[in-house]
Structure 1
Amino acid sequence: MAASMRLLVRRVIRLSHRNINVTAAGVSARSGCCLGPSSCRCFSDDRSTHFGFETVPEEEKAKRVYKVFENVAQKYDIMNDAMSLGIHRLWKDTLLHAMHPQPGARLLDVAGGTGDIAFRFLEYIRSQQERQKRRAMRSMQTPSWQEISNNYSTEDEDGPQESRAVVCDINKEMLKVGKQKADSLGISAGLSWVVGDAEELPFDDDQFDIYTIAFGIRNVTHIDQALQEALRVLKPGGRFMCLEFSKVTNPVLARLYDAYSFQMIPVLGEVIAGDWKSYQYLVESIRKFPDQEEFKHMIEDAGFYSVQYYNFTGGVVALHSGFKL
């Protein structure tokens, strides 16, 4: 209930800000436009953004992005392998090693519809737990009867909180694919699926230890709002981690990467997924995303500290991270 009330309040505030951005010059420039905000929205549709290389009204971008991922959901994982030659798996593995989550951690993976990050998180936690058990067994190879008794009596007391991964995605088709993958892999414990918008997350404040978003933030209409939401739902000391395509630093690699992106990826999209336009958009959206330094400053402006980034594959992808005070 508290979360839903906060969402309602934020929506009212955002709508009120949009409605009061009406200037006298704007009124005189549009004859026949009504003055009352309750009966007319003639000034609220002027704000535009990019959809790939195309300029579109802000409210239209969200609908078009939704349609892109609805179209590609069933072939999304296959296309990731084809487009990156499988390297995306290494990038995601590196993200988990940099995260190094411990048993009891709570993860929110935003725009994580097919579950790749959440699955890796739960597997990493499981391996950590097994490693801890092996260490405990080695230290107890010749225990006294008192140590054995104490071990049994405290085994289930004050144990670590159960680790949980919440996959949040605005696109129901992507979540559907993720759930199917989880069922096929036999993953269910500690895993939840939630329909939600990165700009208005359906969670209370200070809920998660780690927030991740992999290859999703460039599709958000208001990146600054998504960053503010990430800060809000993280616990104090919680960690923000974003894996995203970025600016290639080597000029020769940049030319090769551009040629491959624009000439091959849409073709792969047509052959594998039957969808040229969606993958043309995905290629263009990468070029419109801020470079490493600019995005780092955006994360800092949102309120995170100790923000840093690491380039993978010459800057094709960058991992940004920061902490909440």
Structure 2
Amino acid sequence: MTDTVSFGYEDIPAAEKTARVGGVFSNVAAKYDLMNDAMSGGMHRLWKDRFVRRVKPREGEQILDMAGGTGDIAFRLETSGASVTVADINPEMLAVGMERAAKRGIDGLVWTEANAETLHFPDRFFDAYTIAFGIRNVTDIPKALREAHRVLRRGGRFFCLEFSTTVWPGFAEAYDAYSHKMVPQLGKLLAGDADSYRYLIESIRRFPDMPTFEAMIREAGFVNTNVEPMLGGLVAIHSGWKI
């Protein structure tokens, strides 16, 4: 990893990013799901449904949902009968998820504070690793991908849902204008925080494109990698297998 990393459009010392990203998510935790609905017109729910269908969780499996603090993915996974561990570096996000789980009467999830780059789980422990809209906020993405590979059993599968760069002509420009101008204003209106949402949009722009990120997944040791773009690549499901 280089000495500097991106924090939105800023380049900052790598040692500072984890704390600064933590501050963003502490600020937005309470309104995170409301803002997801507002920013995507509710489409994030459909993307997550599709994502979990691709994971194909099965009864008895051990699944790690990384950066899953508010529980959106875990709630979908646990209906299969899989044993789901929800890990997030941010305690405020986990608190939101645990409160939501209690309201839904879901008590079979394991919640744990963890850094994607230095997981405390043993080697070859999980059957599947999922991460939705979280990998771009990691300081050292290659290190996090290697950790995902380490904790998966042979035959384990990796699935990542993340924003990317749409290649649809016209739509890309329209979305770019909307996200830079409107999303911070929505953040200010609904969550009282324009700056955190400005960072979240800028972090999307700094994230590697689909072929580059797929190559990073392969470099971490995964095989049979695949990219499934949605809305021309605005959002993509990345996957790979450990053999």
Separation of aligned partners in 2, 1:53 and 1:174: 24
Partner of 2:58: 102
Partner of 1:221: 139
C-alpha displacement at 1:251, in angstroms? 2.1
Partner of 2:48: 92
Match of 1:171 among 90, 102, 107: 90
- Answer yes or no: is 1:271 the counterpart of 2:189: yes
User: Which amino acid in 2 is paired with 1:272?
Assistant: L
Separation of aligned partners in 2, 1:121 and 1:196: 19
Match of 1:117 among 54, 73, 78: 73
User: Which amino acid in 1 is paired with 2:185?
Assistant: V
C-alpha displacement at 1:104, in angstroms? 1.0
Deviations 1:115-173 (A, max 9, x none): 111100012x15xxxxxxxxxxxxxxxxxxxxxxxxxxxxxxxxxxxx31000000000
Match of 2:232 among 292, 301, 314: 314
Partner of 1:235: 153
Separation of aligned partners in 2, 1:227 and 1:55: 22
SS of the equivalent of 1:94 reads helix
Separation of aligned partners in 1, 2:56 and 2:3: 41
SS of the equivalent of 2:159 reads strand
- Answer yes or no: is 1:64 the counterpart of 2:20: yes
Deviations 1:171-190 (A, max 9, x none): 0000000000000000002x
User: Which amino acid in 2 is paired with 1:232?
Assistant: R
Within-5 A mapping of 1:1-325: 47-123=3-79, 125-126=80-81, 163-189=82-108, 191-325=109-243
User: Which amino acid in 2 is paired with 1:61?
Assistant: K
User: Which amino acid in 2 is paired with 1:288?
Assistant: R
SS of the equivalent of 2:162 reads strand
Separation of aligned partners in 2, 1:58 and 1:101: 35
User: Which amino acid in 1 is paired with 2:242?
Assistant: K
Separation of aligned partners in 2, 1:64 and 1:101: 33
Where is the strand percentage greater, Structure 1 or Structure 2? Answer: 2
SS of the equivalent of 2:170 reads helix
SS of the equivalent of 2:59 reads coil
User: Which amino acid in 1 is paired with 2:75?
Assistant: F
User: Which amino acid in 2 is paired with 1:70?
Assistant: S
CA RMSD after TM alignment: 1.1
User: Which amino acid in 2 is paired with 1:185?
Assistant: R
**Structure 2: unaligned runs, 5 residues or longer:** none
Separation of aligned partners in 2, 1:213 and 1:100: 14
Separation of aligned partners in 2, 1:297 and 1:67: 30
Q: What's the TM-score, normalizing by structure 1?
A: 0.74
SS of the equivalent of 1:179 reads helix
Separation of aligned partners in 2, 1:236 and 1:176: 32
Runs of 4+ in 1 over 4 A off after TM superposition: none
User: Which amino acid in 1 is paired with 2:196?
Assistant: S
Q: Highest CA radius of gyration, 1 or 2? A: 1
SS of the equivalent of 2:53 reads helix
Where is the helix percentage greater, Structure 1 or Structure 2? Answer: 1
User: Which amino acid in 2 is paired with 1:271?
Assistant: L
Q: What's the TM-score, normalizing by structure 2?
A: 0.98
Separation of aligned partners in 2, 1:105 and 1:317: 27
228-237 or 102-111: bigger deviation: 102-111
User: Which amino acid in 2 is paired with 1:172?
Assistant: P
Deviations 1:182-207 (A, max 9, x none): 00000002x10000000001100001
SS of the equivalent of 2:17 reads helix
Separation of aligned partners in 2, 1:286 and 1:118: 23
